[in-house]
Structure 1
Amino acid sequence: MFGVNDIPKFFLAFFLVLPVISFIHEAGHVFFAWLMGGRSIKVTVGSGDVLFRAGMLEVRKYYFWYGQCSFDNLKRNHHLANILIFSGGALFNAITTVIVIYLIENQTLDPNMATYQFTYFSLYYMFFALLPMPYPDGSYSDGKIILDLIRNKKQSGEQTYRVQWNEEQKQWCVLNHDGELVQTFEEEEKALAKAHEVAQSNRPSRLVNSKNDKEVEVRNYPRIPL
């Protein structure tokens, strides 16, 4: 039964163990994103205002709640690559849990409340990450993305945005997935900047530059693993 003496244990789990587990989870996503050639990789731990940044790590005010990693321009942006990236978080949680259990069984680590909480909440984190479901904010769990990829679905509604030269009007046009005009520019750089902004805010997406009757992928913006 939960008693007054258990309150410090609760705070230990909530403010120390869970953030560590969250960081390990995001590290798994990051590892495979890096392995697949991802660029601009960033790990966010927590939510709210930014407390500090160190390299690719960003820690926010409520560091004990939520986490995600973001990246773009995967060199290997195929189904298997994305399955590995979205599986990476749960995989790293599973590996670290097995390591902790192994060290306890070999008496290298003493079984205590911290190790118990670590294994318990790691399994909890894995379960809800891999449970294939949509979240209320419209995003998907890692499991839902993985299931869609295994079913060989296109990246869950991936949009393609284009920057295209209009010879008649002598303007650069930014077009959405349906070929509808978003905005026009006289300079290619400004058109690309706008297209990047739109594509990045509508992940998963691709940005293509249509020039000289050829389409060249400029950047791709995969979904953000949680």
Structure 2
Amino acid sequence: MFGISDLPKFFLAFFLVMPLISILHEGGHVFFAWLMGGKNIKVSVGTGKPIFNWGMIEVRKYYFWYGLCTFENLRLNRRWSNILIFFGGSLFNIFGVMAVMILVEQELMDTNMFTYQFTYFSLYYIFFALLPMSYPGGNYSDGKVILDLLRAKSHVINERTYRVQWNEEKKEWHVFNHDREFIQAFKEELDAGNKAREIAVHNRPSRIVNVKDGEEKEIHNYPRIPL
């Protein structure tokens, strides 16, 4: 039965062990996103109002709950590369569990409450990360995205394409959505590109192509975000 004497174990688990496991998990996503040439990689630890930023890491008010990794412009934006990115979080958690077990077996680390909780909650984290399920708000677990990628489901394979296109007649840049519907015109290419990015980043998976003289060139891509 849970008693007053167990409160320190509770605080250790939820305010130290779980955040460490979450950071390790996001580190796996970051590693493979970086390996695939991802740019602007950022990690949010926790949820709620941001407290401070340290490099690519953003720590939020409730640092002990939730986390996500964002990136863009993958150099290798293929089905298999996205599978590795989404599986990377759980893979790093597995490595963490194996490392602790080996250290304990080799008597380089004592068996204690920290090692027990780290192993237990890591397995808990892995299970729910890889369990194929949908979350409120339209997000998916890593496992569901991996499964849908393996099954070539259209909602994870097909990217929305937004176009920044030069109009020679009017001497201006036009922004078109995925259905090639006109959105807005700009005199400067930079302003048109910023408008396209503003839309595309909120409609992942998506990409932006620059169209001039009949040639299309991808300038940005925004893959799905692993949690």
| Separation (CA, whole Å) in 2 of partners of 1:154 and 1:172 | 30
TM-score (ref. length: structure 1): 0.96
* Partner in structure 2 of residue 140 of structure 1: 140
In 2, the alpha carbon distance for the partners of 1:176 and 1:225 equals: 25
Residue 110 of structure 2 is matched in structure 1 by 110
Q: Which amino acid aligns with 1:179?
A: R
1:25 and 1:155 map into 2 onto residues whose CA distance is: 24
Q: Aligned AA for 2:182? A: L
Report the counterpart of residue 79 of structure 1 in structure 2.
79
1:162 matched to 2:184? no
RMSD over aligned CA atoms reads 1.2
Q: Is the 8 A contact 1:149 1:155 kept in 2?
A: no
**1:56 CA drift (Å):** 0.9
Task: State the distance in 1 between where 2:181 and 2:193 align.
Answer: 16
| Amino acid corresponding to residue 68 of structure 2 in structure 1 | Q
Q: Indicate the larger mover: 50-59 or 72-81.
A: 50-59
| Structure 2: distance between partners of 1:108 and 1:189 | 56
Residue 167 of structure 1: how far off its partner (Å) = 3.1
Q: Match of 1:123?
A: 123
Q: 2: distance between equivalents of 1:188 and 1:106?
A: 61
Give the SS at the match of 2:204: coil
In 2, the alpha carbon distance for the partners of 1:14 and 1:158 equals 38
Distance in 2 of aligned mates of 1:141 and 1:38? 21
- Give me the whole-angstrom Cα distance separating, in 2, the residues matched to 1:119 and 1:12: 13
Equivalent residue, structure 1, for 2:186: 185
- Structure 1: which 5+ runs fail to align? none
- List aligned pairs for 1:4-43, cutoff 5 A: 4-43=4-43
SS at match of 1:11: helix
Return the alpha-carbon distance in structure 1 between the equivalents of residues 16 and 103 of structure 2. 20
Q: Distance in 2 between matches of 1:151 and 1:202?
A: 21
Shift of 1:154: 4.4
Amino acid in structure 1 at the alignment position of 2:140: Y
Q: Which residue of 2 aligns with 1:199?
A: 200
CA deviation map 1:94-129 (0-9, x unaligned): 011011011112221111111111001001111111
Superposed CA deviations along residues 79-102 of structure 1, whole A, max 9, x for unmatched, are 111110000000000011011011
Please give the secondary structure, in 1, of the residue aligned with 2:28.
Answer: helix
Matched residue type, 1:3 = G
3-state SS in 1 of match to 2:138:
coil
Q: Supply the distance in 2 between the matched residues of 1:135 and 1:48 (Cα, whole angstroms).
A: 17
Deviations 1:24-61 (A, max 9, x none): 00000000000000000111111122221111111111
Matches of 1:94 and 1:135, distance apart in 2 = 23
Q: Give the share of equivalent positions with the same residue, in percent.
A: 64
Taking the aligned partners of 2:6 and 2:96, their CA distance within structure 1 comes to 25
Count of aligned pairs: 226
Task: State the SS of the aligned residue for 1:196.
Answer: helix
Deviation string, structure 1 residues 127-181 (Cα, Å, up to 9, x no partner): 1111111101101111111111111234625211111122343331111111111
What does the per-residue CA deviation read over 1:166-206, in whole Å, with 9 as the maximum and x for residues that have no partner? 23433311111111112111221111110111111111110
Give 1:188's aligned amino acid.
E
Gaps of at least 5 residues in structure 2 are none
1:177 is paired with a residue of what secondary structure?
A: coil
